[in-house]
Structure formats: C-alpha cells, structure tokens
Amino acid sequence: MIIIICVVGVVVLLIILCACIFICRRRFLLRKKVKDIIQISNHQNSKDQETDEWELTWDDLLTKNQQLGTGAYGQVLKGVLLEKSRHIVRDKYNEVAIKMPQRYADEGIKKRFLNEIQLTKLITGHNNIVKMLGCITVGERICLVLEFCSYCDLLHLKKSLQFNLLQNANQTIKEFLIFAWQISHGMQFLTSEGIIHRDLAARNILIDCDKTAKISDFGLCVQINDKHENSPSKNILILKTGKLPIKWLAIESLKNAEFSFKSDVWSFGMVLYEMLSFGEIPFCNVQPEMLIEHLEEGKRPNKPDLCSNEIYSIMQQCWDETPSSRPSFDELITTFKVFLEHATKGYGYLDLLKSQTPSTD
C-alpha cells in the first residue's frame, strides 16, 4: 500500500513538474513572440516615419485649373500647398507644381512615376535641382509636389530675353552665361550621385523667381553604381526602352543605345544651342531617320547669330563623336566661370556672380 502511494506521489510530482516546464516554456515563447512583434512594429513605425517625411494627402493640396505642362503620359498643374502642411516653403509663396500621371495611365507608367519620385527624393536640395516638397503615393491618384518656378522653363523665358536683347544685348548674354554655369553645376551634382539624366533640354530647365536655373524632369533618369565620370566602361549603360528625345541624343545613344555622363554633356551642348538661338529645335530640318547619317558625316547645328566663336567652340567639344573627348561638367563649370568673369569685369556684375553661387541645402 505504501509502495502504491509512493508511486502515485512520484507520478503526481512528475506531472506537476512537466506542467511547470510546459507553462514556463509557453510563457517564454509568448514573451519572445511579443518581443518580436514589438520589434517588427517599431521597425514598421520607423519606416512609416520615413514615408511620412514626404507623404502628403490630397487634403494638403489645392489644385488649380492652370496647366503648367503636359505630355503623353502625364501633366503638371499649378496648385497650393496648404499652411497646415509641414512642407510649406518658408518665406516664399506656397504655390507649387503638382506632377501626376494621366488618369488613364497603366500600371507600367505608374510604376515608372513612383521610381521617379524615389529618385527625386535622393537628389532634392541642390540649388540647381528643382526642389521636391512632397508626394502622394497611396491610393489611385498619385502625384509629385515640386516648387513652383514662376518663369516656367527656358523655352518660355526666351521670348522676354529676345525682347531684352534689343534693349541690352550685354545683359542678355550675361544671363545666358549664368544659366549655362548654373546648369553645369546641377549636372555635375547629378554626375556625383551616379545619375544620367537622358532628357536634358531647355524645356526641362526651370527658372525660379530669382532667375536661378533648376534642372527638372527625372522620369528618364538612370542611376549607376560607378560615380567616376572618367572610368572607361563602367559608366556606360545600354538601354533600348523608353521614349527618348531624338534630336538631343548623343550619336552613340542613337546608334547603340549607349548612355553615360558624356552623353548628357552632348545634350548640354544642345541646351546651349537652344538658349543662344532663342529656342530653335536642333536639326529642325533633318528627318529623324536621317539623323544618324547626318551626324556621321560630321554635321552639327550651325552657330547661332548671338553665339560667340568661343562659346560655339564649347558646343562643338560637347558634340565630339568620341565621348571621352567631350569636356566634363567640372570643366564646363570652370569654363563658364571664366566667361562670366570676363563678361562682368568692369560692369559691376561680379557681385551678382558671387551671390548666385550654387549650394546644397
């Protein structure tokens, strides 16, 4: 009898011990699960905060009916960023440009637009890059909110500059030189970030109320890992998709779909041509299918009437058939700085040059 009681007691103790082990293990696993959930929640909150850094809602915006620009896949409307938004531009009017895909845009277009938003986040802040103020990426209606540039783009500004040319030719030429110098700075910054623009043209250079040139429209941009402009082949991309501006493309881009920092330099030469010809389209009399043959024969846009021999020489260097023979944006910055110093010497414009030195915020 005593033996039976002892056996039963041992069994009960074993059962209690097993139950304790089971309960303790269950509590341990429960604590671990709760800890993991908290970590995941904190990580998600951190990600949400990063998103909130830029994310707006349509309640933060007032859209006007004024269209600033339009294209095959998107449009840009003028709007107002309301005061309750943290992204309001201090000490300036809160007018903004709202870029969005067309309502009928397919998922592919929306995906490319979202990629443009992500890229714009990386490069905003430089004085010669149009500033991003926010975005809406949640829901059906997505958009990118940018600073509003009151002088629109270089193509629109050329009309007033053409009138000013009759009044003061020297001042007009100096403004062109300042724009060229500022665009060089913006492009040098993109190069330092490993970004090839691929759509550099006067229509994509915005001019703000202070007459500062700002590069915009990064929908065709690509980013590469190698940021060294002079590395032999690592900075060349072969891209055969996308709708591209044929008349502004480098010869290697047209022939082999090759894009690099130096193909952007070619396009920069076309921007100079647009400025100094007051908006004339490059190769306007050449059919697109004949353009490669035209370039292979060594033909380039003619020197505009307003253009000096020195500046036209810079254009021709930008249009060299061999990419490595083209100047870098660093070299172009130096070149236009010298031009400006010569142009402003003795006319009181040197202070203007110094006051407009590009900077990063």
Q: In this predicted model, what pLDDT tens digit does every residue of 95-140 receive, in sequence order?
A: 999 999 988 888 888 999 999 999 999 998 899 999 999 999 998 8
Report the chain's terminal Cα–Cα distance, integer Å: 90
pLDDT for position 350: 43
Q: Which residue stretches of 87-228 are H helix?
A: 107-123, 154-167, 169-192
The winner for highest mean pLDDT among 164-178, 238-252, 278-292 is 278-292
Cite the residue boundaries of each domain of the chain with CATH code 1.10.510.10.
154-355
Q: Which of 59, 91, 153, 199 is catalytic?
A: 199
Looking at residue 46, its pLDDT comes to 45
pLDDT value for 41: 46
Residue with more model confidence, 344 or 91 = 344
pLDDT average, residue stretch 282-288: 94
- Greater model confidence, 14 or 60: 60
Tell me: pLDDT of 17 over 50.
Answer: yes
Asked if 151 and 239 touch (Cβ cutoff 8 Å), the reply is no
**Strand locations in the chain, DSSP E?**
61-70, 74-81, 95-101, 132-136, 143-147, 195-196, 205-207, 213-215, 222-223, 237-238, 258-259
Indicate the pTM of the whole model: 0.79
The alpha carbon dihedral of 280, 286, 289, 291 has a sign of negative
Nearest by Cα to 148 from 169, 159, 133, 126: 133
Confidence at residue 52, expressed as pLDDT on a 0 to 100 scale: 60
- Could you say which architecture CATH assigns to the domain 58-147? 2-Layer Sandwich (3.30)
The answer to whether the CB of 119 falls within 8 A of the CB of 221 is: yes
Tens-digit pLDDT profile for residues 159-170: 666 666 656 667
182 or 162: which leads in pLDDT = 182
Architecture of domain 154-355: Orthogonal Bundle (1.10)
Among 255, 238, 237, which Cα is nearest to 246's?
255
Instruction: Give the model's confidence band at 195: pLDDT under 50 very low, under 70 low, under 90 confident, else very high.
Output: very high
Q: What is the pLDDT of residue 90?
A: 56
% the chain with pLDDT above 70: 71
| pLDDT range class, residue 327, cuts 50, 70, 90 | very high
Residue ranges matching CATH 3.30.200.20 in the chain: 58-147
- Could you give the CA distance from residue 195 to residue 213 in angstroms, rounded to a whole number? 19
pLDDT number for residue 261: 97
Active site residue 91: no
Neighbours of 355 (CB within 10 A): 8
Question: pLDDT of 213-262, one tens digit each?
Answer: 999 999 999 998 755 554 444 456 666 556 788 999 999 999 999 999 99
Predicted local distance difference test score (pLDDT) of residue 94: 85
Closest CA relative to residue 214, chosen from 254, 188, 182: 182
Which of these ranges, 81-85, 140-144, 190-194, 319-323, has the smallest mean pLDDT? 81-85
Between the ranges 23-32, 183-192, 216-225, 340-349, where is the mean pLDDT highest?
A: 183-192
Whole-angstrom Cα Rg for the chain: 29
